[in-house]
Amino acid sequence: MKNTFGSSVSVTVFGESHGAAIGAVLDGIAPGIPVDEDFIAHQMKLRQSVGVLSTARREADSVRIVSGVFGGRTTGTPITFIIENQDTRSKDYGELAYKARPGHADFSAQMKYHGFQDFRGGGHFSGRITAGIVAAGAVAISALRGKDIKIGTHILSCGGVYDRPFNDLNADTDRLSDMEFAVLDDDRAVKMQAAITAAKEDGDSVGGRLETAVTGVPAGVGEPWFDTLESVLAHALFSIPAVKGVEFGAGFAAADMLGSQCNDCFRNENNSVTAATNNNGGILGGITTGLPILFRTAVKPTPSIFKEQQTIDLNSLDNTTLQIKGRHDPAIVHRARVVADSVTALVLCDQLAMRFGTDWLKA
């Protein structure tokens, strides 16, 4: 299994949804970066289930750091984050040992691991594994903030309701960093939450889109061709469970533009290169231009729904039906937001370390 991502700065995830613990190992990060455990706890809270909009599974998500940090700062050696699983109810998955849940990795995991995989709660394929990514990402976000690089993600759409686009990137990203339901327009947030609640009451689920902005990344970061910054970011973002699409700048809308509309014309303003538009999302030729990096991520509806569905028996391959029980999210887009921030931070730390050297990340 490929559970490690990154070249200079890397993250490795481990654990299963209903195992003893999950976690991550962050390696290659510069020594001397402050590690704020209160900030890690804050980031973990943004990923936790809250109220009726999320699963009733309530995990404390207390992070234990067992290596790589001394005196409140990184040592430069691997940082290991351990998060215990405490609120598991494995009996809810007894029937699912031999029935493939539509939309989940049950069938593909069976084909790869021949029945030896831990199926409870999705096992190693569960969105629960992202908790370790968020813990590691908190250190990466802190390192980037020390270099005046900010990341902000809002829920662009959910259940057919759209948020307003980014306006003042610095103000918007600062505001989003503390929001549990990260929407820029409060009225749209109410409508999104109503759509989630309505789907839940009908035994169904909804998906959504995330929009991410990154400011402060210098020009010249990234590689041409096979390791473009878009391709590396997309690689990491597609590793988030339920992500089914990623687009940069104008994205697919660029296909309907004229070149004169799509091109971002450069200007020199006070000895700083800028452009009137940012249809390319701050990346050209796979390399940053110094403009804000902008991209959107599509998150599919939670596959665990309470309606009866058709499936197969994994042992006999006979057609059958199933009705999922237990505790599940009617939407995960609002919880995936902080995961997108974390993944983005980890990728940028890796790319910046390769461009400027590992110690560059130390403020």
Quick one: angle between helices 333-356 and 229-237, nearest 10? 140
How far apart are alpha carbons 215 and 149 in whole angstroms?
Answer: 6
How far apart are alpha carbons 306 and 114 in whole angstroms?
Answer: 27
Q: What is the pLDDT of residue 232?
A: 98
Q: Say if CB 208 and CB 156 are below 8 A apart.
A: yes
pTM for the model: 0.93
How far apart are alpha carbons 235 and 229 in whole angstroms?
Answer: 10
Quickly name the fold that domain 4-361 has: Chorismate synthase, AroC fold (3.60.150)
The residues near 278 (Cβ < 8 Å, ≥ 6 apart) are: 249, 264, 291, 292, 294
How far apart are alpha carbons 339 and 345 in whole angstroms?
Answer: 10
Q: Backbone phi, then psi, for 11, in 5-degree steps?
A: -130, 135
Return the residue matching tokens 């499936």: 311
DSSP letters of 24-71?
EEEESPPTT-B--HHHHHHHHHHHS--GGGS-S------EEEEESEET
Structure tokens at 223: 């590689």
| Collapsed DSSP state (helix, strand, coil) of residue 301 | coil
Mean pLDDT of the residues in the chain: 92
Q: What is the pLDDT of residue 127?
A: 86
For residue 63, what is the enclosing H or E element? strand 63-67
CB atoms under 10 Å from CB of 241, counted, come to 21
- Name the residue ranges covered by the structural domains of the chain: 4-361
Q: What is the pLDDT of residue 315?
A: 87
Query: Which tops the pLDDT comparison, 304 or 29?
Result: 29
DSSP state of 217: P
Q: What is the pLDDT of residue 72?
A: 96
pLDDT per position as a tens digit, 159-208: 999 999 999 998 999 999 889 999 999 999 999 999 999 999 999 999 99
pLDDT for residue 250 is more than 90: yes
pLDDT for residue 8 is more than 90: yes
How far apart are alpha carbons 125 and 105 in whole angstroms?
Answer: 7
How far apart are alpha carbons 330 and 54 in whole angstroms?
Answer: 6
pLDDT per position as a tens digit, 46-60: 998 776 777 655 677
Count, residues in the chain: 363
Q: What is the pLDDT of residue 181?
A: 94
Residue type, 284: L
pLDDT per position as a tens digit, 88-127: 665 666 666 788 899 888 888 988 988 888 888 787 888 8
